[in-house]
Structure 1
Amino acid sequence: MPAADKFDPLQVTRVLFEGFSSPAIVLFYLAGFAAIGVFCYGCYVQIRKYRRGQPLGTPLEIGTRFMQMLRTVASHRTIARRDAAAGRAHRLIFYGFALLFIGTATITLDYDITGKLFGLRFWHGKFYLWFSLVLDCAGVAMIAGLVYMMIRRGWIKPPKLDYTRPDRKPGEPGYDRSGYRREDWAFLWALIIIGVTGYVLEAARLVWLQERPEVWALRWWSPFGAALAEAMRAVGVSAGVAGALRGGLWWFHGLLALTLIALIPFTKVKHIFTAAGSLMLRDPLAAQRLPRQAATGDKVGYGTITDFTWKHLLNLDACTKCGRCHEACPAQASGAPLSPRDVILSLREFANDALQKQALPDEVKLSPHGKDGGQVFMETLWSCRTCMACVEICPVAIEHVPIIVQMRRKLVEDGDMEPQLQKTLQTIHKTGNSFGESKRKRAAWTKSLPFEIKDARKEPVDLLWFVGDYASFDPRNQKVSQAFATLLHEAGVNFGLLFEGESNAGNDVRRVGEEGLYELLAETNIATLGTAQFKRIVTTDPHSYNTIRNEYPDFGGSYEIEHYTSFVQRMLEQGQIKVRQPQRLRVTLHDPCHLGRFNKGYGAPRDILKQIGCELVEMPRHGDNSFCCGAGGGRIWMPDPVGAEKPSQNRMREAAGIEGLEVFVVCCPKDLTMFEDALKTSGYEGRFVVRELIEMIRDALAAPADVVAEADGTVAGLVEA
């Protein structure tokens, strides 16, 4: 490659409008200003739309959040999760496009600002040559990423990119999503045409100016453009033909780029900005800590599109239709009329139609609840398990679950819910538990124990055990509670209960959308805890753990609380309890949503299984990709459609794929209920058993002579059979 030092640095550059007349240049600038004008107007319309939403009510740490967003965008970690190929392709597109944009801005800075205003030009010499090399490589990277995305959509066709809606039938309003497919392809083709024509322009310019030594001799600083120029010359393209080609293609390339800029606020391209904004506003506890209902005002939840916060309206625009939430959703996988992506897209369509107008329509037409296009069905909202799989995997930090819960609050306020759910909520309000039992029976399971458990309201304890409804009233779970109480007693832990003073913690009541009842339960439990003397709280119920840990502080109840798995793990590590009977079993572990995704409690259950001698084989969906049992969000109190596969049955099918599996291990009372039922109804009974981790720990700690196998449910009985 010839040295640039042989030429005058001022000649080593590219004359921006070389060969164009003054009227042509003026026309181009007019087109450019028109594109910028349309872009600015579009931005104004979008900002006006967001301003019609409600304020957040909480201060934003913009500096910290901005840096977190930059790190996320730069690393592409959220895009590469569970789809490495798409992540690599998007990196090529993103960084290629970003460099090309910076390059264009640099040219504008040199030509229109520093050059004309101050007479300072820097786009020449070695800077120009390195600039050309970097941008030449960036363009190829962008085109390569775009080509893969085309292959992905056109030939690979992953199911998550299928826009078929589970909540509507052909012919119903909003069913047809062909417009989104056309937009996707138009976006891909526009970028790839801009990229390809850029190289053809570069090649045509080189052939056109091949007689200039400072141009032709240094052509390989644009290696891909130079290679194309050599190909043009090889097929007989003359300098004159190349010049004519360059003139026509220059206008096509430029006007297409300007059109893309003008349309950014109105098309998918705006996700470049809205996705960054959504990531910057990410709430790490979006679903773990739901917002309180405003104390003032007569509106409950999201009854109209203007009830949405401006942040949630921004979330709607951030969606890129990638389908990861659709793929992860247990409701969608089990045939329920819910896809988190479709909820967001429907609400986006509704918001654009209602809020982008100059004047707002009347309140009736602002309601996103209903059956028309852009509205969300009641059945769709009630299908959600609030498991947070969608929020966890969303690469642009959309808060699907808080939006759905806010819309549920409006349904609850209007009484639009399953009769069985309504009855359960009334029962909880009356008795303080979902079983409808007398409060005096909450600790009845303790009566058969050969030792007494302290009442933390009457005498001080080190550890307060918040038991929860299912662990207190469900007969199967009562056995687990007895096992855990025995473990604590034999380990010499000074612990106690609230007895009849404990009420339902309210986690699922809140996620149903009954905020008034939740606040009553939370305030009642906090008042009771205020009468007890303890150092910290332990619970065997992940649902109670989540709300006490993350939501009770908003009501004045801040406590040191942990799930039993981390507590037992620590006792094992410190030698407070010892394994006497290693469990030589092949097991798999189900991560409860409220322990795992909600509170990142993945390590302790696995470490316990290892310490008690089990061979752990992970299911394909585990950790933050664990699959919900189907009980969350109040679904345990609602009937599932007849004939449809339940999420718990889907999970059993996944576990059955593990060769030689003996035990399906859970660490949540609701999981135990859901999966033991699913084992019977899914046809895998006899292949393996479902057991609570507490039961596994109990057997591992017991002396060999103390372990008595029950023929109807233990692993020993299964093996003998």
Structure 2
Amino acid sequence: MLTTPERIAFVLLVLICGGLAFSGFRNIVRIVRRGAPADRSDNLAGRFVRALVDVGLQKTVFKARPWVSFFHAFIFFGFSFYLLVNINDILEAFIDGWSTIGGGPIASAFNLFSDLFSVLVLTGMVMLLLRRFVQKPKSLTFNSSVKLHSKVTSGGVRTDSLIVGVFILLHVGSRWLGTALHLAEKGHGDAWLPTASIASIPFRGLPTSTLELGIHTCWWMAMGLIVLFLPYFPRSKHLHLMVAPINLALAKRTPRGELTGVANATEPGAETLTDLPWTQLLDSYACIMCNRCQDACPAHASGTPLSPAALEINKRYYVNEHAAQVAGGGAVANLLDFAITQDAVWSCTSCYACVEVCPVGNEPMMDLIEMRRGMVFEGKMADEVAEVLRNLDEKGNSFGDSARKRARWSKKLDFKIPDARKESVEYLWFVGDFASFDPQSQEVSKAVANLLHEAGVSFGILYEGERSAGNDIRRVGEEGLFDALAQQNAELLEQCEFEKIFTTDPHTFNALKNEYGPYAGAGQFEVVHYSTLLVELLNSGRLPIKAELGGRGTYHDPCFLGRYNGGFDAPREVITASGVELVEMPRNRENSFCCGAGGGRIWMKDHDDVTERPSENRIREALALGDIDFFVVACPKDLTMYRDAVKTSGNEGKIEVVDIVDLLNRAMTGDRSSESNKEAAA
């Protein structure tokens, strides 16, 4: 189809633009390789097969924003098929007589798909551009205190989106119009090209020379634009087309609740971009800048300076701006200088929501933990965090109380809980700091103990021998202290005789289940959350229900039980067994909204920019369900956070925050009043 001069011009254009693009891609490889070591080499074939399936089915995209995902799927499937379309167009241009119009069954099927996918891509792209530039959703903006690269504040992301959007419209639209002109030249439509046939009607009857000019112009608009776009591609967010599948394939495959250890104990954490593991440098190239992670972030929703999206976007704009310097091994700026503020680093609750919701497999939370590790190592932390870490180092608990007070709550029971250090038990109860020292949580601990005793369960505790399990210590960034506490606990556990460990604290549950494996004797034991144990006892008839409570309740999924460890069903079974009608909040299970206590945030003061605490946001969500009696929790920290939130949000008397064991206890005794609330009030 193309003339000889056109063919020569196209080849030269490919060589020039391809060479420029190659330079950009080479810089990307060099920059990523400068990152710290990270091993993602296990089962590479399986990793990439799984990633291709997930991408092919758009599974990660449809986790959120269903309508946006729907139109994105139009573009994805259409653009994927357009790889074949573009190959066909090259063949048509360079092989005389090549055409699929009027061909056999395979050519006809190809034409039908190319015709329909063209319309789908154009429709999807128009809808997404209307959303960004006309609707302008709040989710695409940032809190005023969020640190942003200067090019982002001047509209760089919007400009990039517009360039990519216009490119797709022109590329696909020109190809589709070119097909219509081909049909007009033939003087008739084609049943296998339905939309192009309709579009060809106005052009039929035009002079052949005019149609030929139009066909050549459309070809160059379609194929020439691709070639011209190549040098821009490595700098554009459109790069996610290539990097996202790779990023998903190389994602962390160990348990969600198991943090990657420190590579260099003498210089832990990250201060500069290249201190981050190379996988986290790859994240910035995979990022599509959709802000879904920001939507899910409780810290950003509260008004703090943290935006996981801004972190990845800032990283990307920095490496774009300094690509040659970074790729060449030159000096790299401190992350706090361009990517994020120190306040934002400490605003993270380590809830994992940003990682779970990301459609391209990014892990911005891990950047923050790496930065915290470096800051803690250098003593750069809030005074209240430093005080808690001293308490943990000296006393073994975050409250700073004597270890002898750890089991004081149990003295109010009518029986003595066996000492698991001295006698064999079926269940070793690792109580945890909050369940041991917090007054409200102590009442839940007593209720659990009474129920287990009544059910005839053989269980014991470690008394003053127990130390903090270290889950939040590790997420604050104090690896050395976590290691010391975990080692002490592991050595003590190894000396005890028991069959299983259970705990009422999801944070403790996560640490024991996922992070104690490397410590002698600790990794061999089964660890269960108390909700699982309660369900087993209910099903076996050892916890008989006297009178169903009635009423309506909603349940909050704790991050470290639900999103991290998949513990969704057992707490709900306890609630329904108690006779309470369960009404789900819009954000539930994997999509649950963090209470704001994790990542050590429960030890820190609220940021000055906070407009609404995550816990208050959640109470408002529950009340919006209408006529809800109980806000049910299965975590000691949640009990404290949400009872406080009911008060600070002015909703006292409108909803009761209760633990699952409180509901069960009432159903078993027939007493509808809350023992834990009575004790807390007293």
TM-score by length of 1: 0.89
Give the AA of the match of 2:444.
V
Structure 2 residue 504 is matched with structure 1 residue 540: yes
Structure 2 residue 73 is matched with structure 1 residue 91: yes
Give the AA of the match of 1:99.
F
3-state SS, counterpart of residue 221 of structure 1: coil
CA distance in 2, matches of 1:156, 1:43: 34
Structure 2 residue 230 is matched with structure 1 residue 261: yes
Give the AA of the match of 2:303.
G
Structure 2 residue 354 is matched with structure 1 residue 368: no
Partner of residue 657, structure 2: 690
Shift of 1:276: 0.9
Shift of 1:77: 1.8
Partner of residue 184, structure 1: 161
> Counterparts of 1:586-605 in structure 2 under 5 Å?
586-605=552-571
Shift of 1:348: 2.3
Structure 2 residue 268 is matched with structure 1 residue 300: yes
Partner of residue 9, structure 1: none
Contact 2:247 2:360 in 1 (8 A): yes
User: Per-residue CA shift, 1:652-696, capped at 9, x if unaligned?
Assistant: 222222322211111100011111111111100011211111111
CA distance in 2, matches of 1:654, 1:708: 25
Q: Greater shift after overlay, 429-438 or 253-262?
A: 253-262
Partner of residue 615, structure 1: 581
Shift of 1:39: 2.6
Shift of 1:611: 1.1
CA distance in 1, matches of 2:157, 2:99: 44
Contact 2:78 2:117 in 1 (8 A): yes
Partner of residue 360, structure 2: 396
Partner of residue 628, structure 2: 661
Partner of residue 156, structure 1: 135
CA distance in 2, matches of 1:463, 1:137: 62
Describe the shift of the 1:554–1:239 C-alpha distance in structure 2 as closer, same or farther (beyond 3 A): same
CA distance in 1, matches of 2:254, 2:309: 20
User: Per-residue CA shift, 1:474-524, capped at 9, x if unaligned?
Assistant: 111111111101111111111111111110000000000111111111111
3-state SS, counterpart of residue 77 of structure 1: coil
CA distance in 2, matches of 1:128, 1:180: 40
Contact 1:582 1:700 in 2 (8 A): yes
> Counterparts of 1:620-639 in structure 2 under 5 Å?
620-639=586-605
Shift of 1:84: 1.4
Structure 2 residue 228 is matched with structure 1 residue 228: no
2:399 corresponds to which of 435, 440, 449: 435
Partner of residue 489, structure 2: 525
Give the AA of the match of 2:135.
I
Shift of 1:571: 1.2
Structure 2 residue 240 is matched with structure 1 residue 271: yes
Shift of 1:415: 1.4
**Paired residues, number:** 675
1:73 corresponds to which of 55, 74, 96: 55
Partner of residue 221, structure 2: 252
Give the AA of the match of 1:566.
T
CA distance in 1, matches of 2:543, 2:311: 49
> Counterparts of 1:335-484 in structure 2 under 5 Å?
335-357=303-325, 359-362=328-331, 365-370=332-337, 374-484=338-448
Larger radius of gyration: 1
For structure 1, which runs of at least 5 residues remain unmatched after alignment? 1-15, 211-215
Describe the shift of the 1:92–1:565 C-alpha distance in structure 2 as closer, same or farther (beyond 3 A): same
3-state SS, counterpart of residue 369 of structure 1: helix
Shift of 1:596: 0.9
Shift of 1:28: 1.5
CA distance in 1, matches of 2:656, 2:393: 35
Contact 1:286 1:399 in 2 (8 A): no
3-state SS, counterpart of residue 320 of structure 1: coil
3-state SS, counterpart of residue 153 of structure 1: helix
Contact 2:238 2:288 in 1 (8 A): no
1:45 corresponds to which of 24, 27, 39: 27
Shift of 1:136: 1.6
Give the AA of the match of 2:271.
G
Give the AA of the match of 2:159.
R
CA distance in 1, matches of 2:13, 2:125: 27
3-state SS, counterpart of residue 496 of structure 1: strand
3-state SS, counterpart of residue 593 of structure 1: coil
Contact 2:557 2:589 in 1 (8 A): yes
Contact 1:354 1:366 in 2 (8 A): no
Describe the shift of the 1:163–1:682 C-alpha distance in structure 2 as closer, same or farther (beyond 3 A): closer
Contact 2:299 2:306 in 1 (8 A): yes
Q: Greater shift after overlay, 147-156 or 332-341?
A: 147-156
CA distance in 2, matches of 1:507, 1:523: 13
CA distance in 1, matches of 2:251, 2:128: 27
Describe the shift of the 1:47–1:500 C-alpha distance in structure 2 as closer, same or farther (beyond 3 A): same
For structure 2, which runs of at least 5 residues remain unmatched after alignment? none
Give the AA of the match of 1:273.
M
Contact 2:294 2:300 in 1 (8 A): yes
Shift of 1:439: 0.8
CA distance in 2, matches of 1:305, 1:622: 35
CA distance in 2, matches of 1:298, 1:124: 70
Contact 1:203 1:229 in 2 (8 A): yes
Give the AA of the match of 1:341.
A
Give the AA of the match of 1:324.
R
Shift of 1:527: 0.8
CA distance in 1, matches of 2:674, 2:5: 93
CA distance in 1, matches of 2:676, 2:660: 18
Partner of residue 170, structure 2: 193
3-state SS, counterpart of residue 502 of structure 2: strand
Shift of 1:646: 1.4
CA distance in 2, matches of 1:179, 1:111: 36
> Counterparts of 1:698-717 in structure 2 under 5 Å?
698-702=665-669, 704=670, 707=671, 709=673, 713=677
2:616 corresponds to which of 649, 653, 658: 649
Shift of 1:131: 2.4
Give the AA of the match of 2:648.
T
Contact 2:25 2:234 in 1 (8 A): yes
Describe the shift of the 1:311–1:709 C-alpha distance in structure 2 as closer, same or farther (beyond 3 A): closer
Describe the shift of the 1:708–1:247 C-alpha distance in structure 2 as closer, same or farther (beyond 3 A): closer
Q: Greater shift after overlay, 438-447 or 638-647?
A: 638-647
Contact 2:470 2:485 in 1 (8 A): yes
Contact 1:428 1:436 in 2 (8 A): yes
CA distance in 2, matches of 1:285, 1:335: 32
CA distance in 1, matches of 2:51, 2:252: 12
Give the AA of the match of 2:554.
T
Q: Higher relative contact order by CA 8 Å / sep ≥ 6: 1 or 2?
A: 2
Partner of residue 12, structure 1: none
Shift of 1:368: 1.0
Structure 2 residue 87 is matched with structure 1 residue 105: yes
Q: Greater shift after overlay, 222-231 or 439-448?
A: 222-231
3-state SS, counterpart of residue 241 of structure 1: helix
CA distance in 2, matches of 1:297, 1:518: 13
CA distance in 2, matches of 1:355, 1:263: 13
CA distance in 2, matches of 1:710, 1:627: 26
CA distance in 1, matches of 2:150, 2:128: 29
Partner of residue 3, structure 1: none
Shift of 1:109: 6.9
Contact 2:171 2:221 in 1 (8 A): no
Partner of residue 125, structure 1: 103
TM-score by length of 2: 0.94
